[in-house]
Amino acid sequence: MSAATSDTNNNVDIDALLDKLTLDEQISLLAGASTWETAAIDRLDVPSLKVTDGPNGARGETFLDGTTAACFPSCVSLAATFNRTLSRRVGKALGQESQTKGAYVLLGPTVCSHRSPLGGRNFEAFSEDPLLSGLLAAEYVKGLQSERVGATVKHYLANEQDTRRFSINETISERALREMYLRPFEIVVKSSAPWCVMTSYPKVNGIHVDSSKMFIQDILRDQWKFDGLVMSDWGATTSTKDSINAGLDLEMPGPAKWRSLDAVKAAVDAGSVTSKTIAGRARAVLQLLHRTGKFSDRKEAVSETAIDKPEHRSLIREAGAEGLVLLKNTDSILPLDMRNCKKLAILGPLAKYAAAHGGGSASLNCHYKVTPFDAFTARLGAETEILHSKGAHIYRVYPELEAGCTNKEGKPGFTTEYFANEELEGKPFYSQGFPRGYFMTMMDDKASGKKSVRLTTSFVPDTSGNHYLSYSSMGTSKMYINDTVISEQKQSTKDSMAFLLGTQEENRFRYSFTKGQVYKIHVDAWVPAELNGELYLFDGHIAVHLGFVSQEEMERDVLTEAVDLAKKADYAILFVGNTTQWETEGQDMEDMNLPADGSQDRLITEVAKVNSNTIVVNTTGVAVSVPWLDEVSALVQAWYSGQETGNAILDVLFGKVNPSGKLPISWPRKYEDTAVCGNFGLDSYESREVEYVEGVYVGYRHFDKHFATERQVLFPFGYGLSYSTFSILEVSLEGRISNDTSDGVTISVNVENTGNLAGAETIQAYLAPPTINTIDRPLKGLVGFSKVFLSKGEKKSTTISFQKDSAAFWDVVKHKWVIERGTYKILVGTSSDPKDLKTSLKVDVPQTFSYEP
């Protein structure tokens, strides 16, 4: 139904309503009213609309410790399934989850490309390949919007690195933009008609996207026919008149920084913004309200609720298991046979850590989280002895003080009291409880007006010792134990964003505690006078973190402990990877090594020396260095697979699920082999400039070009093992590539399961351009894929189709898509590695032609 059509529930006509709004009222719609809501207009009964993070779960309005929510697998995990149907089912479930938080727009999915394995936010996006990203994201959007919850495709455009993302300028060629970085957005917009698109923080070729008419109006709206709302990332609006004229409909969050009534009216009075343009921006907001049902059955605000649905639990577990990628399986050590598991060593710093999600906007307060250790102990009977050691300390920031803490109301945790003066005098105007020694006022509208905060708890340690503490604050602060100042921070933090992410630098010290004694701990903190976080949203906010590790825990020789347990076990299963402290929005990684200081690599190496049945489960959103690969029997890549992560992993390890995940990324042997080495992340910290030097040679396209005479990567894009085996029996094609939009190519493939177990194989088709080209082109590019589920011995036929856009390159002179004449090869197989592409077909294009974008 078009926006101008009457809503059958209440006969609201958007255009008629728009005409009734005064200019002031229209302007009020162009910025959020608060952190998560748009503005309401009571005079005409226009309601506000609530939005929510994020791409793998509907967190709701509270960034920390809010109403619990279901946590789904991250988008990179979904991409590893190569399963479009599953992605749509997850999107639909996320639409249902959003409604439990009273929100009818979800801030996801993220479709920016994986440019580098050091990308801190890669896990939140799908893939290095634009087609895989676009197709799976499109299904996600379709599922989400089937629940009348709007998708917000982000971050448009080129938010591939998080280092200096608020101020970085990215130099990207026109061709790379079109073929690699705009392409997934184009696929999503044209395939699924998302209701919202979110602009990114960085500058692209010298201009912020929110102020770029070329990106928002010319490409997104005019060329791709996007008819939804364009909003900024939180704090990513950078101008008043320029952003309005470029096509940015909504500044978020509110209250407005750039779009106050006075600022916008001044622009109108000066003639730099027309009232017609204002009306167009306001109309987009009204249309979104209409599409989400806010003028009809969803008019009233809904309180946040925690609804733990059994069907969502099941889907999360299914999707998490299907995304796991089996990378090595020597002598078919997996799946494990419970009859042979009399004694298991469950080791590693992530054995009792549920790596459900990465850090930042993807984080949420899960209904529950299943760790691998939880899953093992719940599933294996008394006949199996389970041994455990973490084997390595990987603290980046000490874990928040929590156990033994009681707040002022006698409940577990801490009390925060907010004062409107710097002296912390009088009665606090607002107070709240926190379960742990961490709080932040950002995104908490109720804390507005504070000048100082006191964080208080009564702590009773359960062991005596000279324990380890850490402490930090966003602004100046003092920490007290029994009213004595123990530590003081005299300057504001260097990076305020780090507090949102839990990765800030801290003061570390020790304090002697006696078991059972009551210690009064409080921290007084003040609003920072100046911050260096580069994002104005942190201005005027306070954060405090108080960490704690017992002396016994810190000083245990956990490596020796783990090795001793491994010696006794039938199998040693190591759970390693990144936590949210190490892999998160807001920062990129320094290298491809597992944290911290080689401790996890040492653990794996030493365990493998004493147990020949060593299995490694790695949980990261990126490829990592694996110097011990030859020493272990099996390697499983688990990504961040949601709240059921422990169960999903065990389903694969014990063969309840036959692994079918495929890598949506290339796994380099070393970082120096990547196309972006020296031109990514921390390389641009001082200059705030980064050049996309690789052009269109992203991911496997780069490795194809530069490593053609040797094994390209450690594990290629599209690679993944199974407990079964499959054969491609017959491949044929029909159709043609032409300028006729009805033409296309369809590949038919017959597949057989030649193994002993039911399983799934993903057939992948790549297109190689003619050998004689007028322009330098990648050796091949993915044009389609099909996942086929087969019983033991079963044969099936499947098809993969593509059209002319898969054969085109961007001509920077004509500013058009061009398809050159010649013979194109279609390579069909089970990964991007040449040895796995065993079938080659040909399609001829008799004449070069071009077409408009």
pLDDT of residue 7: 39
147-172 residue pLDDT tens: 999 999 999 999 999 999 999 999 99
Given the DSSP bridges, would you call strands 543-549 and 484-489 parallel, antiparallel or unpaired?
unpaired
pLDDT of residue 709: 56
pLDDT of residue 300: 93
Report the C-alpha gap between 512 and 618 in whole angstroms: 37
Domains and CATH numbers, the chain: 14-291 (3.20.20.300), 310-396+555-686+697-706 (3.40.50.1700), 405-549 (2.60.120.260), 726-851 (2.60.40.10)
Residue 219 has pLDDT above 50, yes or no: yes
Mean pLDDT of 230-244: 98
DSSP labels, 162-224? -TTTTT-EEE--HHHIIIIISHHHHHHHHHH--SEEEE-SSEETTEEGGG-HIIIIIIIIIIT
Residue 53 has pLDDT above 50, yes or no: yes
Report the C-alpha gap between 503 and 494 in whole angstroms: 12
Phi-psi region of 413 (alpha: psi -120 to 50; beta: other; left: phi over 0): left
Query: In Å, how far from its chain's centre is CA 14?
Result: 34
pLDDT of residue 10: 53
- Supply the mean pLDDT for the chain: 95
pLDDT of residue 97: 98
CA dihedral 689, 693, 695, 698 (to 10 degrees): -100
268-319 residue pLDDT tens: 999 999 999 999 999 999 999 999 999 999 999 999 999 999 999 999 999 9
Question: Do 688 and 164 touch, CB atoms closer than 8 A?
Answer: yes
Q: What is the DSSP letter of 242?
A: H
More confident residue, 565 or 495: 565
Q: Grade residue 587 by pLDDT with cuts at 50, 70 and 90.
A: very high
Look-up: residue for tokens 């078919």? 332
Report the C-alpha gap between 276 and 278 in whole angstroms: 5
From first CA to last CA, the distance across the chain in angstroms is 26
Residue 615 has pLDDT above 70, yes or no: yes
pLDDT of residue 88: 98
Task: Compute CA distances 477 → 271, 450, 473, 505, 590, whole Å.
Answer: 48, 14, 6, 15, 30
The dihedral sign for the CA sequence 41, 45, 49, 50: positive
Residue 192 phi/psi, 5-degree rounding, is -130, -5
Residue 77's SS3 state is helix
Residue 490's SS3 state is coil
Residue 533 phi/psi, 5-degree rounding, is -85, -5
Report the C-alpha gap between 694 and 701 in whole angstroms: 10
Helix (H) or strand (E) holding 811: strand 809-811
The dihedral sign for the CA sequence 462, 465, 466, 468: negative
The dihedral sign for the CA sequence 580, 582, 583, 584: positive
Mean pLDDT of 65-79: 96
Angle subtended at Cα 284 by Cα 283 and Cα 288, rounded to the nearest 5 degrees = 115
Report the C-alpha gap between 240 and 549 in whole angstroms: 48
Q: Where are the alpha helices (DSSP H) in 272-402?
A: 275-291, 310-323, 372-379
Which of these, 730, 715, 741, lies nearest to 832 by C-alpha position? 715
Report the C-alpha gap between 584 and 587 in whole angstroms: 6
Look-up: residue for tokens 């609720």? 305
For residues 615-626, one letter each, b for 16 or more C-beta atoms within 10 angstroms of the residue's C-beta and e for the rest, the string is bbbbbbbbbbbb
400-417 residue pLDDT tens: 999 999 999 999 999 999
449-474 residue pLDDT tens: 999 999 999 999 999 999 999 999 99
Phi-psi region of 94 (alpha: psi -120 to 50; beta: other; left: phi over 0): alpha
pLDDT of residue 8: 39
Q: What is the DSSP letter of 667?
A: B
95-113 residue pLDDT tens: 999 999 999 999 999 999 9
Contacts of residue 356, Cβ cutoff 8 Å, sequence gap at least 6: 71, 366, 369, 640, 641, 642, 643, 645
Question: Do 520 and 482 touch, CB atoms closer than 8 A?
Answer: yes
Q: 10 Å Cβ neighbour count for 728?
A: 16
Strand partners, 347: 389, 574
Residue 786 has pLDDT above 90, yes or no: yes
Report the C-alpha gap between 417 and 747 in whole angstroms: 65
Is 233 a known active-site residue?
yes
Q: Grade residue 708 by pLDDT with cuts at 50, 70 and 90.
A: low
pLDDT of residue 4: 35
Given the DSSP bridges, would you call strands 452-459 and 571-577 parallel, antiparallel or unpaired?
unpaired
Contacts of residue 414, Cβ cutoff 8 Å, sequence gap at least 6: 405, 407, 433, 434, 435, 436, 437, 439, 455, 456, 457
pLDDT of residue 183: 98
Angle subtended at Cα 702 by Cα 699 and Cα 703, rounded to the nearest 5 degrees = 90
500-522 residue pLDDT tens: 788 888 999 999 999 999 999 99
pLDDT of residue 344: 98
Q: 10 Å Cβ neighbour count for 516?
A: 11
Q: What is the DSSP letter of 517?
A: -
Mean pLDDT of 634-653: 98
Q: What is the DSSP letter of 672?
A: G
Number of Cα atoms under 13 Å in the Cβ half of residue 623: 27
pLDDT of residue 711: 60
Could you check whether the bond before residue 54 is cis, i.e. omega within 30 degrees of 0? yes
Residue 2 has pLDDT above 70, yes or no: no
User: How is the beta sheet containing 229-232 ordered, strand by strand?
Assistant: 51-52, 105-106, 150-156, 196-199, 229-232
pLDDT of residue 707: 77
Phi-psi region of 502 (alpha: psi -120 to 50; beta: other; left: phi over 0): left
The dihedral sign for the CA sequence 59, 156, 209, 160: positive
Residue 50 has pLDDT above 70, yes or no: yes
Question: Do 696 and 176 touch, CB atoms closer than 8 A?
Answer: yes
Report the C-alpha gap between 496 and 504 in whole angstroms: 8
Mind spelling out the 3-state secondary structure of 87-144? HHHHHHHHHHHHHHCCCCEECCCECCCCCCCCCCCHHHCCCCCHHHHHHHHHHHHHHH
Helix (H) or strand (E) holding 690: strand 689-691
From the list 233, 242, 444, 651, the catalytic residue is 233
Contacts of residue 596, Cβ cutoff 8 Å, sequence gap at least 6: 392, 393, 394, 395, 396, 582
pLDDT of residue 710: 61
Give me 363's structure tokens: 């984080």
315-364 residue pLDDT tens: 999 999 999 999 999 999 999 998 899 999 999 999 999 999 999 999 99
Mean pLDDT of 369-374: 98
